[in-house]
Amino acid sequence: MELNQLTIHALQEKIRSGKTTAVEIVQSVFQRIDAVEKDVNAYIVLTREAALEEAARADAAIRKGDIRTLTGIPIALKDLLCTRGITTTCASRILHNFVPPYDATVVEKLRDAGAVFTGKTNMDEFAMGSSTETSGFGITRNPWDLKRIPGGSSGGSAAAVAADECIAAIGSDTGGSIRQPAALCGVVGMKPTYGRVSRYGLVAFASSLDQIGPFSKDVEDCAILMNVIAGYDPRESTSVPAEVPDYRQYLARGIDGWTVGIPKEYFIEGIDPEVMTAVRKAIAVIEGLGAKCIEISLPHTAYCLAVYYIVAPAEASSNLARYDGVKYGFRSPDGRDLLDMYKKSRSAGFGAEVKRRIMLGTYVLSSGYYDAYYKKASQVRALIKRDFDEAFKQCNVILTPTTPTPAFRIGEKTDDPLQMYLSDIFTISTNLAGIPGISVPCGFTQGGLPIGVQFLAGHFEEAKLIQIAAAYEINANLEKRRPTL
């Protein structure tokens, strides 16, 4: 196997035993990038020279015995995480030239743990989308079928991991933007609890929903990355000072005696039959591990999408008011006066989906409509969270499909925003309730497209997700496949 195909923990072994070096690993990853990036287009920016310098420094540290959790491991960052001195565009023309003067907290933490950064990955513009087709810098293709989308909004991060263009990646998840592309690209993706990972330096989309999380090639790597990025940050007022367990301790504990909830509202008509079959098989594997699977109900599930598409655009319309052509980013040269400059800069700088959501959000917050939309949605949101609170009284974790279908074709849903929104139907509730979720590969369609199963747990119970996902992964006996690129 090529070094670029290995996991973090396998590479750590090789580094510790002196069988390889950080420079060799980084070179292997960039060789792979050179071979497949023209087809996949997972990255907006590659930082090859900096990565090779960092790798050389890592090797010097290794020789001195300084081997950290991620020493010499090439990691890709979604292009909405601020990186000092490296453009951070959010895949938007309005930020095409923005060079942050500081690093996001997760970037600092990964760097301190020894990680080497390969570049910034493509995404839907400002993380608004489910297919990475709204990027202002071209689409990303699914490594398993180049005619299909990788999912979104963190499609570049998911595709980069699936195509071995990095060892692991970081993304963000506001309504499924880590778990949905992870499922569609056949990798592991976790959305931690709201408040678990600092968002300092994450460009904001919907502040009551956004959360940063890892993409990886297996569950152990997910645990390793969570150990690095989780934790309280005094610079981030919504980060929670809760103790962070060592997630690796939960990899081999099994789930004997657990109760797993299967919400009937997530097994409905309209789900692709092959997805249904694969998820049913996953339930059988879970039962074989000594867990009892029981039917549960999350009665307000049908309302999640409507709530989300009020709350998220409302918050986005406020967050994106800052892009006005004054402090950073694109300014239209055609503004006659200040107001005209604002309008022309924003209209030329934002893409259609971002404008649609700003419009929707501005409308639902506007005078006369606030109670009918935003207040009503926030009340139903409370009921959605209550559903989960009740459910977790009956079960340790919840199991659902991650997505209703496998990866769809490029262009298939771009003309109908509502159809596009429906591809997040199983992931959105997690963000509304603020709970953690993980997507793990659970098989392939006849046509060779990956399928994901999702596990959900209560607030700050990521360890349970690692525990069940690792137990499932080891015992599922899935065929080992790689995309043919």
Provide the annotated active-site residues: 78, 153, 177
Q: Token pair for residue 363?
A: 């409308």
Q: Which of 9, 17, 95, 84 is nearest to 331 (CA)?
A: 95
Least Å from the CB of residue 93 to another protein: 13
DSSP per residue, 361-411: HHHHHSTTTTIIIIIHHHHHHHHHHHHHHHHHHH-SEEEEES-SSSPPBTT
* Residue placing its CB nearer to another protein in the complex, 267 or 363: 363
Residues in the chain: 485
* Residue placing its CB nearer to another protein in the complex, 76 or 204: 204
Q: Token pair for residue 464?
A: 């349970």
Half-sphere exposure of 4 (CA within 13 A, CB side): 21
* Residue placing its CB nearer to another protein in the complex, 130 or 431: 431
Helix, coil or strand: residue 142: strand
482-to-164, 176, 453 alpha-carbon distances in Å: 9, 24, 19
Strands of the sheet with 437-444, listed across from one edge? 43-46, 116-121, 74-78, 168-173, 211-216, 188-191, 437-444, 450-456, 397-401, 259-263, 292-296
Least Å from the CB of residue 166 to another protein: 27
* Residue placing its CB nearer to another protein in the complex, 32 or 120: 120
* Residue placing its CB nearer to another protein in the complex, 249 or 347: 347
Least Å from the CB of residue 389 to another protein: 12
Least Å from the CB of residue 270 to another protein: 15
Number of Cβ atoms within 10 Å of the Cβ of 416? 10
CA angle 420, 422, 425 (to 5 degrees): 140
Checking 353-357 for CB contacts under 8 A at 24+ apart, the result is 353/124, 353/125, 353/128, 353/129, 353/134, 353/417, 354/92, 354/125, 354/126, 354/128, 354/134, 354/316, 354/320, 356/417, 357/128, 357/312, 357/313, 357/316, 357/317
* Residue placing its CB nearer to another protein in the complex, 11 or 433: 433
Number of Cβ atoms within 10 Å of the Cβ of 315? 22
Q: Token pair for residue 174?
A: 């506001």
C-alpha 200, offset from chain centre: 17
Least Å from the CB of residue 448 to another protein: 33
Distance CA 478, CA 442 (A): 7
- Which residues have C-beta within 8 Å of that of residue 160, sequence separation ≥ 6? 40, 42, 43, 76, 118, 121, 166, 169
Cβ atoms of residues 77 and 200 within 8 Å: no
* Residue placing its CB nearer to another protein in the complex, 146 or 232: 232
DSSP code, position 233: -
Least Å from the CB of residue 137 to another protein: 19
Q: Which of 45, 46, 18 is nearest to 30 (CA)?
A: 46
* Residue placing its CB nearer to another protein in the complex, 31 or 347: 347
Least Å from the CB of residue 295 to another protein: 23
* Residue placing its CB nearer to another protein in the complex, 264 or 322: 322
Least Å from the CB of residue 370 to another protein: 11
Query: Taking the chain, what is the end-to-end CA distance rounded to the nearest angstrom?
Result: 15
